Amino acid sequence: MKIIKTIFFTFIVSINLLAASASAQSLGGVAQDALGPIIFLRYALDAASFILGGLLLMSAFMRYLRHKQNPQESPLGTIIFWAILGIVLIAIPLLHYLAVMAATDTGAGNVVI
């Protein structure tokens, strides 16, 4: 199954590069056209990270309420782990945005967004 996914991904990327090279005049144009799907993937991963982090925090809070009623039903370690994981998933895109803003404000040059 993993091989099929790899072949499918390679096929999609190669079709995208072929289409980009047909419309571009230079290698730089091909590279610029190939960044479109990558930027979309970054935005999709950021959105998924925010959504999953929020869901994990909400689930940890709900589990904590159940833990207060019956501590045997849901262990506290699971609640703490879910809360920490939710915070990390929300913090990763935010830290990336802060790093990009700091690099562009200080004039660090071209920053990959």
pLDDT level of residue 11 (50, 70, 90 thresholds): low
- Calculate the alpha carbon distances from 78 to 13, 57, 67 in Å: 39, 12, 10
- Across all residues in the chain, what is the average pLDDT? 80
* Lookup: tokens for 57: 């925090």
Higher pLDDT, 45 or 24: 45
**Which residues touch 30 (CB under 8 Å, ≥6 apart)?**
17, 20, 21, 24
Q: What is the spatial distance between Cα 81 and Cα 69, in angstroms, rounded to a whole number?
A: 19
Task: Answer whether 0.75 is exceeded by the pTM.
Answer: no
Residues 6+ apart with CB under 8 A from 84: none
> What's the confidence (pLDDT) of residue 20?
55
Q: What is the pLDDT of residue 50?
A: 94
- Residue 20's CB is within 10 A of a number of other CB atoms, namely 18
pLDDT band of 43, cuts 50, 70, 90:
confident
Which of the pair, 88 or 37, is modelled with greater confidence?
Answer: 88
Percent of the chain with pLDDT over 90: 39
Residue 83 has pLDDT above 80, yes or no: yes
C-beta separation of 93 from 67 below 8 A: no
